[in-house]
Amino acid sequence: MKYYRSIAFACLLIASEPAFSQEKTDPVIMTVAGEDIPKSEFVRVFKKNNTKETNFDKKAVDEYVQLYINYKLKVKEALELGMDTVKAFIDELAGYRKQLAQPYLVDKEVSDKLLHEAYDRMKTDLRASHILVKCDADALPKDTLEAYNKIMKIRAELLKGGDFATLAKKYSEDPSAKDNGGDLGYFSALQMVYPFESMAYNTRVGEISMPVRTRYGYHLIKVTDSRPAQGEVRVSHIMVKVAANASPEDTMKAFQKINEIYDKLKTGGNFEELAKQYSDDQSSSKNGGLLPMFGTGRMVPEFEKAAFALKNVNDYSAPVRTSYGWHILKLIEKKPLGSFEDLQADLKQRVAKDSRSELSKTSMIERIKKKYGFSENPKMKDEFAKVVDSTLTEGKWTTDKAAGLKGIMFTLGNKKYSQADFATYLADHQSKRSSGNSPVSLMNHHYGEWLNESCLAYEESKLDSLYPDFRNLMKEYRDGILLFELTDKKVWSKAVKDTTGLKEFYEKDKNNYMWGERVDATIYTCANAEIAKEVRKLMKKIDDNDTLMARVNKSSQLNLQVKSGKFAKGDNEIIDSISWKTGITPDFPRDKQVVFVDIRQVIPPQPKTLEEAKGLVTADYQAALEKEWIASLRAKYTVTVNQDVVDSVASSK
C-alpha cells in the first residue's frame, strides 16, 4: 500500500533541524556515513518528537538513536544516488518553497486588520439580491464604460420604483436570476467575493448600492435583511432520495416512505435506529444520521431554515423537501459564533485563500520597495512600448522585437531588472486569447505583474538568511521529499508492483491472514408478525429478494428490509445474537419489528485469499522490504555511536 506524501512527511521527518555552530564542549553523539552528529542536534530533535516527555527515559532514547540512524542513512543514500539533482525534485522543492514563503511575504499588520474585519462581519448575517452585468476583469475601457452605463441605467430604473426581482429577471446576466429574481439568500463574511461582501456590509437594509466591480462584472446589491449571526448547528437527518428525473410514481413512493418514518417517530420510534434502517444518505445513516456542524449559507436554504428553526435539543422536524429529496431533521447541538481567539486559526487560513489577501500582499510589496531602495525609470517602459504590436494581443509576440533594448527598467537592492528581462517575461506570460485590449495596455498589465512578482521574489531570495525557522523548514522539506521518493522506490511502490514477490510472501505466511468462522445468511426485517408470516409464505414461491420486497412493500415501503452477505462475529448485531446453525430461525422481536434469518451455510475458518487480504499482506510485505533495505544500508555505511554521550542524554531533562 503506497502512502500519501503528506502522511509520509509526518513519518519521515524525524530529524528536521540542522546543527548550528556548536560549542567546543558539544560532544559528538554519533557518526553516520561520515557525518558527525552533535549531541545538541540530537537532543533538539528528540525533544521535538517526544513533546510529552519530561524525563528522557533511557529505553526511549536508545530506541530513538536507532530511528535517527535509519533516517540519516536513508538521506545519505538518496544524496549518493543524486536524487537531489533530478529536475522533478528541484521543481517540487521549489513549489513547496513558494508555499512556505507565503506567510513571510504579506504585511502582517494589514493581515491582522483583515482578520478582525472578517470576524466583525461574521457577527451579522445578511440577505441580499443582486443584478449582474458581466464585464471581464481585463476588458477594454470602452467595454467597461458600456457595462457601467448599463448598470447605472438599471439602478436609475430601480430608484424610480422598479421591482428588484422583476428587473433582475429582465436584466441580470447571472443565470440563476431567472429563477430566484437575484435573491442570494443569507450569507456571511468569506462566502462572497471580497468587493461584493464589502459593498453588501456597507449598504443599509432596503437600500440599493452603487455599482460594485468584481471579477464577474458590475453588481447592484439590495440588502433585504440583516440579523445577528445564527452561529452553527448540528443535526441528524433521515433522508429519502428523490432523483431529479424521478417519475411521479417514484416521487409518490418517496413521499409515502418519509411520512411512514415520521409516523414511527411520533409514536416513539428511535430516530437514530430509524436513520440506520431507512435513510438513503449512506455517509450519515451508519452514524444515526449525524451531520457535521454547519452555519449560514452552507446548506440548501430549505434544509438550513428547518435546522435553525428547531429550538430544543432532540426536537425533530416534520418532513422537509429539498432538491435532494425528503428529510426529517433532529437537533443535536446549537452553538453561537465563537470568540475571535477560538476562530483565529481557521480565519487565518480562509483569509489567506480569499482575494482580500491581495491587499496584504500589495502593502508588503510597497514595504519591500522602501526597504531595498526601489527606483524606476519610466522612460524605459515608454521605450519598450514602441516594440509591442498586434502580435502581443494574438499571443505571438517574440523577444527578437526587443533585441536592441538593454536599458534598466528598475532597480531593487543590488539587482537590476532590464528591458531584456521584461522581454523574456512578456514572451512567456502573453496569452493566446486577448480580451480586445490594445498592445500597450496589455504590456502595461504584464509590466505591473512582473514588477510585483520581482519584488516578492527578491524578498523570498533573502528568507534563508533573514529567518532561521524558514531555513530549517526548507531543509526539512528537502529531506522529506528525498526520503519519500527513495522509500517509495525501495518499499511502497515496489511492494505494489512486485506481484510475484507479493504472492510468494503471501503463500509463505497465508495462515497469518485468516477468516474466522462466518455465516452466509440473509436477514429479513419485517414491520410486524403478520408481515413476517406473509414473507415466509412468499419465500416458497419467490427466490429473488428484490421481487420479494417489491411484492411485500406495495402497501408500505417499511414492511420489509432484506440484507444478505457473509458475516463474521462483530459484523452485524442480529447475526451475533443468534445460534449459527443452517436453516431459517424462528421470528424474534427487535426494535419493535420482527426479524428472522436464513443461514444458508456456516463457513469454517480459512485463509483469506490474496485479494481479500491484499491490504494487510501488502503492508506486511512493505515492512519486510524496509527491514531488508535498512540492513543493507547499515552494511554499506559506517555507523559509530558514542554510548556514553547517549547515556548522558538519558540522564538529562
Using CA atoms of 154, 160, 162, 163 in order, give the dihedral in degrees to the nearest 10. Answer: 110
List C-alpha distances in Å: 89 to 10, 81, 116, 494.
19, 13, 39, 20
Residues 73 and 56 in one domain: yes
Report whether pLDDT(119) > 90: yes
Residues 501 and 617 in one domain: yes
Residues 199 and 244 in one domain: no
Domain boundary among the residues 213, 228, 243 is at 228
Task: State the pLDDT at residue 22.
Answer: 43
C-alpha cell, 549: 420486497
The enclosing domain of 290 has a CATH number of 3.10.50.40
Q: What is the mean pLDDT of the chain?
A: 91
Report whether pLDDT(435) > 90: no
Task: State the pLDDT at residue 52.
Answer: 65
The three-class DSSP label of residue 163 is coil
Residue 288: φ, ψ to 5°: 75, 20
The three-class DSSP label of residue 16 is coil
Residues 242 and 175 in one domain: no
Task: State the pLDDT at residue 104.
Answer: 92
Residues 205 and 137 in one domain: yes
Q: Is residue 278 part of a domain?
A: yes
Q: What angle do CA 373, 375, 378 make, to 5 degrees?
A: 170
For residue 601, the enclosing domain spans 515-607
Residues 501 and 630 in one domain: yes
Q: Is residue 485 part of a domain?
A: yes
pLDDT tens figures, 143-153 = 899 999 999 99
The three-class DSSP label of residue 66 is helix
Task: State the pLDDT at residue 109.
Answer: 92
Q: Is residue 348 part of a domain?
A: no
Per DSSP, helices labelled H in 50-129 are 58-80, 87-101, 108-122
- Among 37-51, 112-126, 361-375, which stretch is predicted with the lowest mean pLDDT? 37-51
**DSSP code at position 510:** G
Residues 216 and 143 in one domain: yes
Confidence of residue 140 (pLDDT cuts 50, 70, 90): confident
Confidence of residue 651 (pLDDT cuts 50, 70, 90): confident
Residues 213 and 262 in one domain: no
The three-class DSSP label of residue 156 is helix
b (16+ CB within 10 A) / e for 427-454: beebeeebeebebbbbbeebbeebbbeb
The enclosing domain of 597 has a CATH number of 3.10.50
Q: Does the pTM exceed 0.75?
A: no
Residues 479 and 619 in one domain: yes
> Phi/psi zone of residue 310: left (φ > 0), alpha (ψ -120 to 50 degrees), beta?
beta
Residues 6+ positions from 254 with CB-CB distance below 8 Å: 240, 241, 242, 246, 325, 326
Nearest to residue 319, comparing CAs of 330, 334, 308? 330
Using CA atoms of 173, 174, 180, 185 in order, give the dihedral in degrees to the nearest 10. Answer: -140
Q: Is residue 504 part of a domain?
A: yes
Domain boundary among the residues 421, 436, 463 is at 463
C-alpha cell, 529: 408478525
pLDDT tens figures, 337-396 = 999 999 999 999 899 888 898 899 999 999 999 999 999 999 999 999 999 999 998 899
As a whole number, mean pLDDT of residues 168-194 equals 94
Report whether pLDDT(209) > 90: yes
pLDDT tens figures, 227-244 = 999 999 999 999 999 998
Q: Is residue 343 part of a domain?
A: no
Q: Is residue 543 part of a domain?
A: yes
Domain boundary among the residues 199, 228, 257 is at 228
Task: State the pLDDT at residue 580.
Answer: 96
Dist CA 438 CA 352 (whole Å) = 33
Residues 40 and 134 in one domain: no
State the total domains in the chain: 5
Nearest to residue 124, comparing CAs of 337, 306, 313? 337
Report whether pLDDT(16) > 50: no
Q: Is residue 425 part of a domain?
A: yes
Report whether pLDDT(633) > 70: yes
b (16+ CB within 10 A) / e for 294-325: bbbbebeeebbebbbebeeeeebbebbebebb
Q: Is residue 439 part of a domain?
A: yes
Task: State the pLDDT at residue 20.
Answer: 39
- Does 477 or 18 have the greater pLDDT score? 477
pLDDT tens figures, 549-563 = 999 999 898 999 999
Residues 417 and 327 in one domain: no
Unique residue bearing C-alpha cell 456597507? 202
Residues 258 and 402 in one domain: no
pLDDT tens figures, 388-420 = 999 998 899 999 999 989 999 999 999 999 999
pLDDT tens figures, 50-63 = 766 556 788 899 99
Q: What angle do CA 278, 280, 282 make, to 5 degrees?
A: 105
Report whether pLDDT(500) > 50: yes
Task: State the pLDDT at residue 431.
Answer: 81
Report whether pLDDT(13) > 50: no
